[in-house]
Chain A
Amino acid sequence: MDTNLALILVLTPLLGFLVNVFFGKSLGKTVSGAIGTIAVAISFVVSLLLFNQITSTGKGIEVTLFDWIQISNLKINLGFLLDQLSVLWLLFVTGIGSLIHLYSISYMHDDENMHKFFSYLNLFVFFMITLVIGSNLLVLFIGWEGVGLCSYLLIGFWHKNQDYNDAAKKAFIMNRIGDLGLLIGMFIIGSMFSTLDYATLKTAIAGASNLDSSLLSLAALCLFIGACGKSAQIPLYTWLPDAMAGPTPVSALIHAATMVTAGIFMVTRLNFVFDLATDVQSVIAIIGAITSLVAATIGLVQNDIKKVLAYSTVSQLGLMFLALGFGAYEVAVFHVITHAFFKACLFLGSGSVIHGLHGEQDMRNMGGLRKVMPITFWTMLISSLAISGVPFFSGFFSKDEILLTAFHHSIPLYVVGSVASIMTAFYMFRLMFLTFFKEFRGTEEQKHHLHESGSLITIPLIILAILATFGGLISLPGHSWLNKYLAPLFTKATEGEHHLGTTEYTLMGVAVLGGLLGILIAYVKYFKQDNVPEADENITGLSKVLYNKYYVDEVYDAVFVAPVNSLSKFFRDYIETGLSALVFALGKIANEIAFQGKKLQTGSIGLYLFVFVLGLCAIVSYIFLAQ
């Protein structure tokens, strides 16, 4: 029964993928979209069933299908582990996935390759489910690379544009850098504990007497590099903003709500490894904090509506890693969930705006959309309030938990996180004011066509806005359902349940004030004073540096890409020809000897005979003299 359920869960999206690949074109757009959506919806229903089962029994379900890879000291099964963590992830992957599929039916309706879009989306859901429910690291790795592939396909969905293809390629390659780290981490763990299976690994680590802690730290560090690639942390974050080249539903599903949280999932899954590597945990916390700050500063000045949201995603992921670094896994998971709600809503809302403006993404050409797109406006407003940490919206609770945890461990990192949060509030409301208030700044023709999107687009927005509002209820301070639910996963006692004292309330107040301050600055600057960001060429000073993302892409190009390319040219033009010439030289030497020897052959028979006799005499005299 459990096996069948798990197989239905995994294989329905795969089936949807296959149907859309082979028959999608002939089925027509609406049908192929419906098939894609239903496939994911079925998985969602199965996830609900599984969730129900797990909350009632409290035990995880293990499903082993067959032996996959045999290596001398470790045997790797193709198997699934459905426990609290994976089912939680499944719920929002398939849930939000279904909504975004529904949204895409309308959003992508004008695209000639809509069936392909749905097949890729279904394939993505298939791999994401595999990633989440794999029972060992290598099955996770199938999903891990699989979602990377889908991300590649979907970023480059409009494949006639080579810039988009570049972005897709960049995403895939940067992810692969992280994947190498993940592989190396797996190798170390495999050789240390002779298993890659989560459950066995957990008992092995618990039972191990004298662990080589430095080796384990190295493994944890390598795994974290993998997480950095997938979850867009410094130094491997630059692919995520570029990934906005893909259609907006993709940005919402893959590059905000689900795939980018895979790194957090993996770290949470292996919490027992990271708990033992305290120095790596500090690294994670520091990287997370820096990432959240750096991305937030860049987000302050971006003018592309999707770029703002992309940097906001990087920044929020940084906050999650900050929590992971302190061992507060359940806090990170909480923020993953709330973030999935409000960020998906924001992306879908921006998609609605872009759809309404026929592809316009620059906020300098928007404005005044509040009246024509009321549903989009209100849902995005709710999500912006949630992300800014305004009380009683979901983001307030989760972000507050992270900052509280940070405060208890490290004041400097708390400050960094808080500053990033204030900036978040500022740039989100900058986005809101520029997009929805004042007068419309686009062309007359665009103005003429302005309209609210259809119901297939607005319904998912409304549902996500509701979730973004009330999502915080799952982990209220002091009465956290989530912490209890996740407790069986963690070896250490959870410390998420902070005693609510004066300090806590003060910090909460500070956070709320900070958020409101950010909103206020945005209000003054973009509503009161009616500022519109400068045209690209007029941007100067610090904002220019920020607008150009600290020139990180340029630096990477100069430090990594360009040298490899010129090395390749050098190898091709000099080393290859040199080696080739060396081999030919051997032949030439033989040739030269022959050429010289040829001159001896004069053709004069008299000479030949003379040499012949001379040789005979030499041999004869040698024989006699030798004796």
Chain B
Amino acid sequence: MGNILNQIGIENYIFLSVVLFCIGIFGVLYRRNAIIVFMSIEIMLNAVNLLFVAFSTYHQDAQGQVFVFFSMAVAAAEVAVGLAILVSIFRNIGSISIDNLKNLKG
């Protein structure tokens, strides 16, 4: 594993994950459809996971990979709940565009 890292270089992993993260951010900011926003958040999460794994290899420390397993499991649960909420919202309002979700207004 160390070899692969040596061949590609840690900075490329960082670069990739930053790009993924930014794609996620832009997705969150620009898209109105709640499901797309949700997907963008998943991309951001995975960008971070990628970084975790990369550094875990770089430092020869398995803890990072353990964390990734945890966060993937939690993310799966979160997606399940989140999608359920979205379905419920769609049933109630008939739309999942975040522009229509203003119930948080103070």
On A, residues with C-beta under 8 Å from B are 598-606, 608-610, 613
Q: Could you tell me the distance in whole angstroms from the C-beta of A14 to the nearest C-beta in chain B?
A: 73
Contact assessment for A604 and B25 in the assembled complex, using a CB-CB cutoff below 8 Å: no
6 smallest CB-CB distances across A and B, nearest first, come from A603-B105, A601-B106, A603-B102, A598-B106, A605-B98, A603-B104
Report the contact-size class of chain B (Cβ under 8 Å from the partner): 10 to 19
Shortest Cβ gap from B6 to chain A (Å): 28
A599, A600, A605, most chain B CB atoms within 10 A? A605
Question: Do A609 and B29 touch across chains, with their CB atoms under 8 A apart?
Answer: yes
Interface centre among A600, A602, A606, A609 (most CB of B within 10 A): A606
Complexed CA–CA distance, A613 and B29 (Å): 9
Chain B residues, CB < 8 A from A599:
106
Q: List 23 A-B contacts (CB under 8 A).
A: A598-B106, A599-B106, A601-B104, A601-B105, A602-B105, A603-B102, A603-B103, A603-B105, A603-B106, A604-B98, A604-B99, A604-B102, A605-B98, A605-B101, A605-B104, A606-B32, A606-B98, A609-B28, A609-B29, A609-B37, A610-B29, A613-B28, A613-B29
Residues in B with CB closer than 8 Å to A604 are: 98-99, 102
Q: Which residues of B contact A610 (CB under 8 A)?
A: 29
Q: A605-B101, A606-B32 are in contact. List 12 more A-B contacts (CB 8 A).
A: A598-B106, A600-B106, A601-B104, A602-B105, A603-B101, A603-B103, A603-B104, A604-B102, A605-B98, A605-B104, A608-B104, A609-B37
> With the chains together, A602 CA to B99 CA distance in Å?
11
Give the distance in Å from the alpha carbon of A599 to the alpha carbon of B105 in the complex. Answer: 8
Chain B: which residue is nearest A608 at the CB level?
B104
Instruction: Tell me if B99 and A606 are in contact (CB < 8 A).
Output: yes
Chain A contacts of B32 at CB under 8 A?
606
Instruction: List chain A residues, Cβ under 8 A from B37.
Output: 609
Return the chain A residue nearest B105 by Cβ. A603
Chain B residues lying within 8 Å of A601, measured Cβ to Cβ, are: 104-106
Bound together, the chains give a CA A606 to CA B37 distance in angstroms of 10
B29 is contacted by which of A600, A602, A603, A606 (Cβ under 8 Å)? A606
The residue on B at minimum CB distance from A598 is B106
0/1 string, B12-35, CB within 8 A of A gives 1:
000000000000010011001000
Return chain A residues, CB-CB under 8 Å to B106: 598-601, 603
* Contacting pair A613 B98 (CB below 8 A): no
Distance between B25 CB and nearest chain A CB, rounded to angstroms: 6
A513 to B32, CA, bound (A): 122
Q: How far is the CB of A394 from the nearest CB of chain B, in Å?
A: 94
Closest chain A residue to B104, Cβ basis: A603
CB distance from A134 to the nearest CB of B (A): 74
Instruction: A369 to B26: give the CA distance in the assembly, Å.
Output: 119
CA distance A605 to B29 in the complex (A): 9
Query: Is there an interface contact between B99 and A613, defined as CB atoms closer than 8 Å?
Result: no
Contact call A602/B98, Cβ cutoff below 8 A: no
